[in-house]
């Protein structure tokens, strides 16, 4: 983690806006973590995961939970949705023609996502594309390395995607690696992103929970506990 960061519950989050974050990672490469309260809560009990976040080259605040938490701690930092950051990375890397690897989501979804992205970004150079339900991780890692991508997009859900890109970075030290959750589902057209008004109000989580009620388990009790812990941190500061 570089110096332009603030702390939340023991984890550093970069204070860059989206353009600065893009510029930084394109210049320096490495692991990008799109952090949210669920990840912080998981990291509290899993030191191997906590270390990945702590050693990431860039940590961006993905979602309203982190934005609110940072605000409680006195830091006015706007969230950068991972899906938007991922798309900007694809566009930037495509300008140079360097290779991009897509790994994640259910079979055919990644292919469909690539097909749709190519309509918008004709220079997109896809050197590897695979679904996220593989058995032999080492074989997938070998194949990705052989394809020598500049950018690796892993949409495997957290924490699986962060453990995966952490392994991959050992073999591809000059690449940019990012975990992107359900982004391929959206790019493929399989899942609708929340309407702009929800995005603007920071209520994407509400829209997704209405559409997929089983996600409620991911919000409660994690989100209220996260806010409570941030308030406690604020009080002892
Ligand atoms: N996924 C995967 N491999 C797995 C488990 C999940 O590729 O072993 C994919 C899943 O199909 C979905 C994404 O990971 O496309 C996780 O999406 P989720 O909505 O959970 O992520 P979020 O956007 O909430 O971080």
Tens digits of pLDDT across the chain (237 residues): 556 899 999 999 999 999 999 999 999 999 999 999 999 999 999 999 999 999 999 999 998 999 999 999 999 999 999 999 999 999 999 999 999 999 999 999 999 999 999 999 999 999 999 999 999 999 999 999 999 999 999 999 999 999 999 999 999 999 999 999 999 999 999 999 999 999 999 899 999 999 999 999 988 899 999 999 999 999 987
CA distance 80 to 18: 6
Q: What's the CA angle centered on 111, arms 106 and 115, to 5 degrees?
A: 140
- CA of 133 relative to ligand 1 center, distance in Å: 10
In this prediction, residue 97 carries a pLDDT of 97
Nearest atom of ligand 1 to the alpha carbon of 218? 24
- CA of 153 relative to ligand 1 center, distance in Å: 12
**Torsions phi, psi for 187 (to 5 deg):** -65, -30
Nearest CA to ligand 1 atom 18: 182
- CA of 105 relative to ligand 1 center, distance in Å: 6
pTM reported for the whole predicted model: 0.97
Give yes or no for a contact between 147 and 101, defined as CB atoms under 8 angstroms apart.
yes
Give yes or no for a contact between 206 and 197, defined as CB atoms under 8 angstroms apart.
no
CA distance 160 to 179: 9
Cis peptide before 15 (omega within 30 of 0): no
112, 159, 181: residue to mutate for ligand 1 pocket, most atoms within 8 A of CB: 181
In this prediction, residue 1 carries a pLDDT of 59
Range 37-236 has CATH code 3.40.50 = yes
In this prediction, residue 3 carries a pLDDT of 61
Q: Please give the C-alpha separations between residue 19 and each of 88, 161, 229, in angstroms, as whole numbers.
A: 9, 24, 30
In this prediction, residue 2 carries a pLDDT of 58
- CA of 159 relative to ligand 1 center, distance in Å: 10
In this prediction, residue 105 carries a pLDDT of 98
Q: Is the CB of 155 under 6 A from ligand 1?
A: yes
Q: Is the CB of 104 under 6 A from ligand 1?
A: yes
34, 62, 132: residue to mutate for ligand 1 pocket, most atoms within 8 A of CB: 132
In this prediction, residue 219 carries a pLDDT of 86
């Amino acid at each position: 983690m570089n110096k332009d960061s603030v702390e939340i519950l023991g984890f550093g989050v970069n204070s860059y806006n989206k353009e600065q974050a893009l510029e930084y990672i394109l210049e320096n490469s490495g692991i990008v973590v799109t952090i949210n309260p669920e990840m912080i809560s998981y990291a509290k009990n899993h030191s191997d995961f906590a270390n990945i976040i702590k050693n990431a080259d860039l940590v961006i605040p993905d979602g309203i939970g982190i934005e609110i938490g940072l605000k409680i701690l006195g830091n006015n930092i706007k969230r950068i949705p991972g899906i938007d950051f991922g798309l900007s990375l694809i566009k930037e890397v495509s300008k140079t023609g360097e290779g991009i690897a897509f790994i994640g989501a259910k079979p055919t979804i990644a292919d469909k996502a690539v097909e749709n992205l190519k309509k918008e970004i004709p220079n997109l150079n896809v050197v590897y594309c695979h679904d996220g339900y593989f058995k032999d991780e080492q074989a997938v890692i070998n194949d990705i390395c052989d394809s020598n991508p500049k950018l690796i997009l892993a949409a495997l859900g957290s924490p699986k995607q962060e453990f995966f890109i952490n392994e991959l970075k050992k073999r591809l030290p000059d690449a940019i690696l990012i975990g992107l959750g359900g982004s391929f589902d959206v790019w493929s057209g399989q899942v609708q992103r929340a309407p702009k008004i929800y995005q603007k109000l920071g209520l994407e989580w509400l829209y997704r929970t209405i559409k997929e009620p089983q996600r409620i388990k991911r919000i409660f009790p994690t989100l209220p506990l996260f806010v409570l812990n941030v308030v406690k941190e604020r009080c002892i500061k």
